[in-house]
Structure 1
Amino acid sequence: PSLRGLVVIDGQAAAGRYEFPILTAEELRARGKELVEADDGVEERYRTGVHRLRGSDLATIVYTSGTTGEPKGVMLTHDNLLANARATREVITLSENDVALSFLPLSHVFERMLAYRALYDSVTVVFAESLSTVARDLGRVRPTLMTGVPRFYEKFVSAIHDAVDKGPAVRKKIFRWAVGVGRAAVRVELAGRRPSTLLRARRAMADRLVFSKIRERAGGRIRYFISGSAPLAPSVAEFFLARGFNILEGYGLTETSPVVTANAIGATRLGTVGRPLPGVEVRIEPDGEIATRGPNVMLGYYRRPDLTAEVLKEGWFYTGDVGQFDEDGYLTITDRKKDMIVTSGGKKIEPQPLENCLKADPLVAEAVVIGENRRFPAVLIVPDFGRLETEAHARRVEWTTHDDLVSHPAVVGRYQEVVERLNQTLGQFERIKKFAVLPSEFTMERNELTPSMKVRRKVVEDRWKEVIERMYA
């Protein structure tokens, strides 16, 4: 009821459908110009209003993605956002010479912080036309900085492997050799040692033959890839590092503005989300839950004091995530408390580590472990259809539709191998007893994915209910 108007950035809104005015961006600019010309004091009143603001005033309400329930309106202050922008400067240095390519929705606090840092450090931000044009836009924009979620980086890796697989045998052989050299060098460096003279020479050759071309595909100027919103598989991070890209993984939530911890250049530890930012405290509760406090923690949930009281206690925000610190203060996230599966036999299973292991296989795009109040854990697998189709052609598998493809015995057997490989590392009660390969990807249009590409478990389980019931029949 308090809405005074809308501004349409692109295109025109239908006239006469609303009780409030709707302006195009051009019309808004024209009105502003008329107002300034007609009233000499309007600019001064605007500046006075801005200076009247306090850091503790509400700056924005950002809604959570709703992966574990109904989205909540997170109230963030100017102080929250500025504190986080300043603290991230200790990890990532930016300047007016940097150019960021943005494709994540600005309704997501991760991408919003990129925008705030860009304003703070005079960085140019270019918005990709769409998710499907990011690869093209990388070449056109030639960014020095980019944020993304793990699924984006996984697709980046898959696209490179697909391109190599379609090439001649000699190119494949050179690529595999270069990958082996790059990984060997990165592992030595991550261990704090200097690669040998021979390994450095081989790496220089690998860079000239292979890696420099991959970097050129990304515009040739990338200084940082930043990953957040979900765990990044160490194998994916290693892929980027081996090819001369800096990829930094951090951890945060909407409620923390968002960054809590981050890996820094020269101090990266794969499989972790880094150390706490300056001014941010993090502790692990007896049940493994991560709690944090600092100037970045929200005011609370909009009009939900009951939910606020559940997560904010004596200044500490209880994240709902489970994790642990190593001896050097690097944090590892193991799961969400609400995602914890309790079988009908009372056994507790953390699904996220199992899903991440399954997704380490190039043929697995998504995996959702289920088993709440069931006799045993099972898993829904979404294939990387591009790579699966390539492998199916190589194996002379005949198929017409994706339903045919995922039910073919050779394909089922291939995914059985993936599951069995995981099971060999697990205790008896954790082992995946049944699996189903789904014939379609998860999408935002069907509400299976959030705008930041996180899986909505409840939606997935509801949509594929019949498949799940057949596994437990």
Structure 2
Amino acid sequence: MNTKRLFDAVAHQLENFPKNDMLAAKENGKWKTYSTQQVADTVNKLSAGLVSLGVKANDFTPESSDKIAIISNNRPEWVFTDLAVQQVGGILVPVYPTTNPNELAFILNDAAVKFIFVSSEDLLLKVQSIIDKVPSIQGIYTFDSIAGAKHWTEVTALATDELLAQVDTIKKQVPAEQLATIIYTSGTTGTPKGVMLSHSNIYTNVQFSKKSFPFNDAPESKVLSFLPLNHIFEKTCTYIYLYSGISIYYAESLETIGDNLKEIKPNGFTTVPRLLEKVFEKIMAKGSELTGTKRKLFFWAVDLAEKYDNRVSGGAWYNLQLAIANKLIFSKWREALGGNISFIITGGAACQVKLLRIFNAAGVPVYEGYGPTENSPVICVNRQEKGGTKFGTVGPPIEGIQVKLAEDGEIMVTGPCVMKGYYKRPDLTAETMKDEWLLTGDIGVWDEGKFLKITDRKKELFKTSGGKYVAPQPIENKLKESPFVEQVMVVGSERKFVGALIVPSFATLKEWMREKGIPYTTNEDVIHHPKVLELYRELVESFNKFFNHVEQIKKFELLPREWTVDTGEMTPKLSLKRKVVNEKFKDAIERIYA
């Protein structure tokens, strides 16, 4: 493959399909679009400004190239900065806005960051609170206009014709093997580790994904972007869009996704299962508000969709009923998503099969994919082509890479997308890479010989005190199929039996209590109500039959509030931090085993 650099996407788009809306975001309540030419000009000026500030790559090695950090929500300026840093051979270090100050100081020091771009006042204050501990930082620039702070346009204002000519020369010299980014992922030891990804790593993943999915060159298409851009999944997808001529519109926030979908009517988006679950909960809550025939029709349609199988025809009668359900009920769901969705790609954690069935039956095509940061990231994705998708699997491997399973079932991958290693951590690199194969830490099996099914995280498998291994994820995903369960974490490492911490879906529970004539007071009171405890005991029992004796949940504790990113139990990509939950709720866990 003729490997390009990621920033070549701009020239590629200018040459093949220049657009009026390469990027777009809401500014002062209105959508503001940036054309391909505007993006090219802005990025070149920003690169020139960085050169003026002394940002350079020296000999294009990870150690000698200057690092620029970014802490921001998704917005066009994020991409401008990313491209501008790349063009001068610098390395972007993206940091989650929710990163705590200690971890932030560690990352900035570990990478010896020279300049940092932040989006908002609260993030500026966060950086200022630890700036004394990071001697390498020479300046902070903001995307929002903030009194007393340096605005990012002060960097573009430094551009001169001479500097722009210099940028042109540097761009030609940046090798495809140069690091494009160092992405810090939370380490099991508590210290984040920096994944080194080159232009070549991400570019090949972009092209293999484009071929496999396929993302056709589609200059009339657009997507909505809301997954954090500092996560490699959204970043790689960004370059897929840029190289395909697909316009990127940035959601204002997670709360406004629904409104933004209706406004821009995108052709697709990427997401994580937790957000799909939230969308489905909202749909079901609306359905529960209906009465009479409308309510009956709604739940009839959902029941029908739960039986959907994309690989086996349900027969003429089923297909006729589904067509009616689509016309009467599901057409409204599609309208709520803007009416144009041809793909939703979900990754980052296992998606409930029930949700995949329902959404796909409703004409909302959801495709599950998989891959770690260390592989830039995509390893597998379910396909749009006939026979290319199997619910409950992450699809076949993408073209251009090799995947195999170790003796213990661990998924291993090799190919041009595999990282250069962990920054300054040859010890960790040696643990994760064996003879050019990346050990993912995920356990999987082949389904029908070509679809990869992930059964668990290697480090999440635990042993009961009886010496039996238990994989928590399949049990948790099954339980989350119940409308009464918002979140769940299975426990039982070195214990006599398997237990669970359950966060009820309080909206559903409230409705159930109203129907039963039980007064609803506070969440804290409700989770101790004998009738509620009886409901959840019956619920857990009904799910236990899907698992063998060792995996069955014998006791559980209900918790009064949802786990979130803000309260620290979820990662920014909405995966569960098991260690944190174990620590925070150790009293509840002790009660299970008392």
**TM-score under structure 1 length normalisation:** 0.93
Aligned-residue offset at 1:304: 1.0
1:70 to 1:190, Cα distance in 2 relative to 1, 3 A: farther
Query: 1:471, CA displacement in angstroms?
Result: 1.1
Q: Once the two structures are aligned, what percentage of the paired residues are identical?
A: 39
CA contact (8 A) 2:287 2:299 kept: no
- Once the two structures are TM-superposed, the CA of residue 66 in structure 1 deviates from its matched residue by 4.7
Q: State the match for 1:250 in structure 2.
A: 369
User: Given the superposition, is the C-alpha separation of residues 3 and 386 from structure 1 closer, same or farther in structure 2, using an over 3 Å criterion?
Assistant: same
Please say if residues 7 and 23 of structure 1, whose CA atoms lie closer than 8 Å, have aligned partners that are also in contact. yes
**Structure 1: distance between partners of 2:541 and 2:432:** 39
C-alpha separation between the residues in 1 aligned to 2:389 and 2:292? 35
Matched, 1:107 2:230: yes
Equivalence for 1:233? 352
5 Å matches for 1:10-21?
Answer: 10=120, 20-21=138-139
* Distance in 1 between residues matched to 2:116 and 2:578, nearest whole Å: 34
Residue 413 (structure 2) aligns with = 292
- Distance 1:400-1:20 versus aligned 2 partners, 3 A rule: same
Distance apart, 1:181 and its partner CA: 4.2
1:208 is matched with: 327
* 1:93 matched residue in structure 2: 215
Deviation at 1:11, TM superposition (A): 5.6
* 1:222 has 2:332 as partner: no
SS at match of 2:249: strand
The yes-or-no answer on 1:143 pairing with 2:255 is no
CA distance in 2, matches of 1:244, 1:68: 43
Map 1:53-202 to 2 at 5 A: 53-66=174-187, 70-89=191-210, 90-94=212-216, 95-183=218-306, 186-187=308-309, 189-191=310-312, 193=313, 195-196=315-316, 198-202=317-321
**How much does 1:432 deviate?**
1.3
Q: 1:372 & 1:61 partners in 2: Cα distance?
A: 34
Q: Structure 2: which 5+ runs fail to align?
A: 1-108, 132-136, 146-150
Contact conserved, 1:68 with 1:456, CA < 8 A, in 2?
Answer: no
Aligned letter for 2:366?
I
Within the candidate set 32, 44, 51, 2:156 is matched to 32
Task: Tell me how far apart the structure 2 counterparts of residues 30 and 174 of structure 1 sit (CA, whole Å).
Answer: 59
Using a 3 Å threshold, how does the CA distance of structure 1 residues 403 and 280 change in structure 2: closer, same or farther? Answer: same
Write the deviation string for residues 396-445 of structure 1: whole angstroms up to 9, x where unpaired: 22231101111111211121122112222322222211101111100111
- Alignment partners' CA distance in 2, 1:256 and 1:160: 35
The CA deviation at 1:3 is: 4.0
The residue that corresponds to 2:140 in the other structure is 22
Which amino acid in the other structure matches residue 329 of structure 1? K
Q: Distance in 2 between matches of 1:227 and 1:66?
A: 23
Matches within 5 A, 1:423-442: 423-442=544-563
Residue 374 (str. 1) matches residue 495 (str. 2): yes
Instruction: Give 1:28 deviation, angstroms.
Output: 3.5
Q: Which amino acid aligns with 1:28?
A: W
By relative contact order (CA 8 Å, sep 6+), the higher-ranking structure is 1
Structure 2 counterpart SS, 1:132: coil
Moved more, 117-126 or 256-265: 117-126
User: Contact 1:157–1:239 at 8 Å: present in 2 too?
Assistant: no
- The one-letter amino acid of 1:32's match is T
Instruction: Supply the AA of the counterpart residue of 1:35.
Output: A
Question: CA 1:162–1:67 in 2, change beyond 3 Å: closer, same or farther?
Answer: farther
Distance 2:505 2:234 in 1: 26
Q: What's 1:329 paired with?
A: 450
CA-based RMSD of the aligned residues comes to: 2.2
Q: 1:460 to 1:68 in 2, by over 3 A?
A: farther
- Equivalent-residue separation in structure 2 for 1:194 and 1:410 (angstroms): 39
Does the 8 Å contact 1:355/1:369 carry over to 2?
yes
2:510 paired with 1:385: no
What are the Cα deviations for residues 423-471 of structure 1, in whole angstroms up to 9, with x where unaligned?
A: 2232222221110111110011121000000000010011001111111
Determine helix, strand or coil for the equivalent of 1:161: helix
Matched-pair contact (CA < 8 Å) for 1:65–1:450: no
Give the CA deviation at 1:139: 1.5
SS at 1:75's partner residue?
strand
Q: Which digits, 9 at most, give the CA deviation of each residue in 1:191-243, with x for residues without a partner?
A: 2x4852x4444333222211111100111111111110000111000110111
2:306/2:354 contact within 8 Å kept: no
CA distance in 1, matches of 2:372, 2:155: 38
Asked if structure 2 preserves the Cα contact closer than 8 Å seen for 1:275 and 1:330, the reply is yes
In 2: Cα distance, 1:429 partner to 1:298 partner? 38
User: 270-279 vs 419-428, which deviates more?
Assistant: 419-428
Question: In the aligned structure 2, how far is the partner of 1:66 from the partner of 1:172?
Answer: 48
Q: Which residue of 1 aligns with 2:70?
A: none
The amino acid of 1:202's aligned partner reads Q
Q: Please tell me the residue identity of whatever aligns with 1:207.
A: N
**Taking structure 1 as reference, are residues 350 and 28 closer, same or farther at Cα in structure 2, changes over 3 Å only?**
closer
Residue 9 of structure 1 and its aligned partner are, at CA, apart by 3.8
Q: Are the counterparts in 2 of residues 290 and 320 from structure 1 also a CA contact under 8 Å?
A: yes
Equivalent residue in structure 2 for 1:416, among 537, 544, 554: 537
Q: 1:468 to 1:194 in 2, by over 3 A?
A: closer
Task: Kindly indicate whether the alpha-carbon contact (under 8 Å) linking 1:67 and 1:456 is maintained by their aligned counterparts in 2.
Answer: no
Q: 2-side partners of 1:183 and 1:346: how far apart?
A: 37
| Higher alpha-carbon deviation: 169-178 or 313-322 | 169-178
Q: Distance in 2 between matches of 1:195 and 1:106?
A: 43
- Structure 1: where are the runs of 5+ without partners? none
User: What one-letter code is carried by the residue in structure 2 that aligns with 1:129?
Assistant: E
CA contact (8 A) 1:68 1:338 kept: no
Partner of 1:6: 116
1:426 and 1:294, CA in 2 relative to 1: closer, same or farther beyond 3 A? same
CA contact (8 A) 2:444 2:453 kept: yes
- 1:45 maps onto 2:161 in alignment: no
Alpha-carbon spacing, 1:204–1:427, altered in 2? closer, same or farther (3 Å):
closer
Contact 1:448 1:455 in 2 (8 A): yes
1: distance between equivalents of 2:510 and 2:187? 33
Question: Number of aligned pairs?
Answer: 466
3-state secondary structure, aligned to 2:553: coil
- Of the structure 1 ranges 118-127 and 228-237, higher mean CA displacement relative to structure 2 is found in 118-127
